[in-house]
A and B are shown apart, each in its own frame.
Chain A
C-alpha cells in the first residue's frame, strides 16, 4: 500500500509539472494581456508598452536565444521551485496568501453542497431503485434530470429572488452578517463560530450557506441520485442479495447492509470526482453569491488576465483533484476488501 501511494505521489508530481507548463503557455495564448485590461479605456499603445515593460511581460515566454534564462517561464519556475507562486499583477497580493485565505471558504461551501447532494441524492437513488419503474422512481429521476440540466447561475438567481428578496427568509449573499465579528481559526466561519462559542455567528453562517449550497449541490445531487439508482439496481439483482433475502433477513438489513455497501463503489468514485470539482472552486456559484472562495477569485483573474492568479488557481485546482482522486482510490480498499494495492 505504501509503495502504491508513493508511486501515485510521484505520478502526481509529474502531472503537476505538466499542468504548470501547459497552463503557463496557454494563459499567455489568451488574446489581450493584463496591461490592457488593467488600463481599460486608458489603454493607448504607448502606455500599454510601458506597463508591459514594467511588469516584465515584454520578455520571451519560453525561449530566449541570446539569454536562455531570461524568459518569463524560467523566472516563474525559479520562483515556483522555492514554493512561491508569485503575486497577483493587479493586487500585488501573494497568490499563496490568497489561496490560504480563500480555500477555507471554498471548503466550507463544498461541504455544504456535498451534504445537500448526499442527503437528497443518496436516498433518492435508493428509493428510486427499490421502486423501479413505479411513480416514485419516475418522480426521483425526473427531479434529478431537471437538477442536472439546470444552469447554476439561473438556479442561483431564482433561489435568491424567491428566498431572499420575495420571502426574506435567508440572506442573498455573503458569508456572515456584517455586524458579527470574531477572529477566525480555520477560516471556515461555521466551524470557527462553534469553536469560539459564538452561536450568533454559527446561525448566521448556516443561513448564509443554505442557498449557495443548494445552487452548487444540485448537479452533484442529481448525478449521485442517478448513479446510486443504477448501481443499486445492479447489486439488487445479484445472487447474494437474493440469498440474503431467502435466508429470512429483513428487507431493511438486506438493502442497507448487503446491497448498499456493495453499490457504493461507483458512487464513491462519482462523489470523489464531484468533491474534487467542488474544491477546485465553483466559479459561477461563488460569483453569484459573492462567496470569497477560490472560484470567484479565479474567475476575476481570468477576466483580468492576471497570469499569476490564473496559474496559481489552476495548479492548485489540479493538486486538489489529484489528492482527492488518490484518496478515492485508497478508499476502495476499505469498501471492497477484495481490492489490494501492490
Chain B
C-alpha cells in the first residue's frame, strides 16, 4: 500500500513536472487583428482561437460540430429559428460573466452597421459576416432577421430563410465571443497591438510586440481542458524556408504552412516530425465558357482528359495530395455522387478525337494563367502549369503560359475579357459542401467562368435548406454530377498542408478548418 502511495505521488509529481513550460509556434506572419469577426487571415485566427471560444466547437481533427460556449442547440422544423443554450459559470478573462447579453453584443457588432460598438466609422468592416451570412442588418440578402435573449443562458436566432448549417456558420473560427466590457473600454483600437483582447478561451492575452511576437498565458480557470503549458509564444516568421530552419535549429517547437518539399528534409532529421494537416481545400483549373473554343463542351472535356492528374499530383505533392473528380475535399466525400467516376479519365488519344469532333482537328491556341504566389493547394503553380501545358500541346492546344501580380490576377480573372484558362483554389471555412460549391458556382459565385445554369443555382439553394446529411447528400450528388459533366472547374488536387513539430511536442491535432486550440499540447522533454 505504502509503495503504491509512493509511486502514485511520484507519478503525480512527474506529471506536474511535465506540465508547464513555453511552447513556441512559428507563425506565418503577424496577425492582422485579434478582434474576432473582423478578419479572415489564418495568422490571426490561430491566435484568436487560443483567446476566444465560439458558441459551437468542432471535434479534434474533424469538421463535426460539438458543444462550445453553447451546450446544445435546436431549431424549428424548417431551420429558420435556432435556439442556443449557453454554458453556465463561464467567465471572460477580465472576470465578467459570459451570458446571453454577451452573445447578442458580439453578434450586433458584426451584423448591425449602426451598432455603436461596431466602430465601422474607424474602418472596421466585419467582411466575413457578410460573406457567410449573406449580408448585414437592413440588407435584403442577409438571412439573419433577429437575435434575441430568451433568458440569461439562452439566445434565439431568427432567419429569413432556412439555413440548416447555421450552427457551423456561427461556430466558425472567425466568430470568437469577446468580452463586451473589454470592447467598450478599449473602443476602436480593440484587436490592435495596443489593446488587450479578452475572451473565455484556454489562454489569456499577455503581450504583442509589433512585427515580432505575441505571448499568451495559460488561463487557470478555463472551463474546458486546461492548458498543459504555461505560455505560448507566437513568433512571426514570414519566410517558410526560415520557419523550417527555425524548427530544425530548435528555436521554435512547431509550425505550419511549409513547402511540400520540406517533408523530405524533415524525414532525415531525427529531431523533428512532419505533420500532415487534414485536407480541406481544392486546387483546380478553371475554364471560361465565354471563350470561342471553350464554349464547346467537347473541347472542355478534351482538356479534362488531356493531362495526367495523378502523375502531376504525385510529382508535385508526393504523399500530401489527393487527386479525384470532386470539388469537395475528402472529409466531405459523403456529398459526392456514386455515379461520377473516381477521377477524370486520362486519355490523350480520345481527347484529340474529341477536339476533331468539335471541329478543331489542328487545335488552337489559348492563354493559360498561373498564379504568381504559392497557396496551400498549389505550392508551385508555375511548375504545375508547365506540366499541364506540355500535355495540352500534345493534343494540339498551344498554350501561352502567363502570369501577373497576385492582386491584379485576382482582379482580372473577374473582369472582361477574363482569363481563358486559369489556376485557382479554395480553402473551406466550415464543414458543409455549400461552402465549396457556392464559392465557384451559382449566383453569388466568382464571375470568371461565365457558367451559371439555372438548374444548378436552384440545387444550390435546395442544398442550403436541406436538413440532415442524407437529405443534403442527395442534392449534392446531383450538383456533383452536373458540375463534373460541365468540365468548367477541373479539380486537380486536395492537398494536405504540411506542418512540422519537434519530436517532444505531443498532443497536437491540427484541424481541417485551420485553427485549433493548443490547450492539449505538451512539451515533455523539451530542453
Contact = CB atoms under 8 A, between A and B. Distances in A.
A237 interface: no
A129 interface: no
Interface string B54-81: 0000000000000000000000000000
Contacts of A293: 211
B343 interface: no
Contact of A37 (B24, B127, B237, B407): B407
A172 B251 contact: yes
A149 B73 CA distance: 65
A300 B211 CA distance: 11
B410 A36 contact: yes
B245 interface: yes
Interface stretch (A90-98, A225-233, A264-272): A90-98
Interface stretch (B116-124, B145-153, B315-323, B347-355): B116-124
B233 A300 contact: no
B414 A165 contact: no
Interface stretch (B440-448, B490-498, B503-511): B440-448
Contacts of B193: 93, 97, 101
Contact of A41 (B24, B127, B439): B439
28 contacts: A30-B407, A32-B406, A37-B406, A38-B127, A40-B40, A40-B410, A41-B426, A44-B445, A44-B447, A47-B130, A55-B123, A87-B122, A90-B32, A91-B32, A92-B188, A93-B193, A98-B210, A160-B245, A168-B249, A171-B249, A172-B245, A173-B237, A174-B213, A291-B211, A292-B209, A292-B210, A292-B212, A300-B29
A284 to B, nearest CB: 10
B239 interface: yes
B13 interface: no
B242 A172 contact: yes
Contacts of A72: none
A174 B212 contact: yes
B333 interface: no
Interface of B: 22, 24, 29, 32-33, 39-40, 120, 122-125, 127, 130-131, 188-189, 191-194, 207, 209-213, 215, 233, 235-239, 241-242, 245-246, 248-251, 404-411, 414-415, 424-427, 439, 444-447
Contact of B411 (A36, A171, A179, A292): A36
A92 B124 contact: yes
B140 to A, nearest CB: 13
Contacts of B237: 173-174, 290
Contacts of A55: 123, 125
Dominant SS at the B interface?
Answer: mixed
B424 A178 contact: no
Interface in A193-219: none
A325 interface: no
A192 B242 CA distance: 26
A44 B131 CA distance: 11
A43 B411 contact: yes
Interface residues of A, number: 59
B411 A33 contact: yes
A319 interface: no
Contacts of A37: 406-407, 410
Contact of B22 (A41, A42, A178, A289): A178
Interface string A40-77: 11111111101100110000000000000000000000
Contact of B33 (A32, A91, A168, A291): A91
Contacts of A174: 212-213, 235, 237, 246, 251
A290 B245 contact: no
Contacts of B24: 178
Interface in A14-41: 30-33, 36-41
Contact of A43 (B130, B191, B211, B410): B410
Contact of A292 (B39, B189, B211, B239): B211
Contacts of B213: 174, 178
A331 interface: no
Nearest to A297: B211
Contacts of A44: 414, 444-447
A50 B406 CA distance: 20
B409 to A, nearest CB: 8
Contacts of B125: 51, 54-55
B46 to A, nearest CB: 16
A42 B131 contact: yes
Contacts of B251: 171-174, 177
A105 interface: yes
A262 interface: no
A39 B140 CA distance: 22
B249 A157 contact: no
A168 B245 CA distance: 10
A53 to B, nearest CB: 10
A173 B407 contact: no
B211 A105 contact: yes
A32 B407 contact: yes
Contacts of A290: 212, 235-239, 242
Contacts of A177: 251
A178 B131 contact: no
A41 B424 contact: yes
Contacts of A40: 40, 410
Contact of B447 (A45, A287, A303): A45
B235 A178 contact: yes
B425 A91 contact: no
Given A105-B211, A160-B245, A296-B238, 16 more contacts: A31-B404, A31-B408, A32-B410, A44-B414, A44-B444, A45-B447, A89-B123, A93-B194, A157-B241, A165-B249, A171-B249, A172-B246, A174-B251, A179-B22, A290-B242, A303-B406
Contacts of A31: 404-405, 407-408, 411
Contacts of B130: 47, 50
Contacts of B131: 42, 47
B193 to A, nearest CB: 6
B435 to A, nearest CB: 11
A50 B185 CA distance: 29
Contact of A87 (B123, B210, B249, B446): B123
A288 to B, nearest CB: 6
A88 to B, nearest CB: 8
Contacts of B415: 45
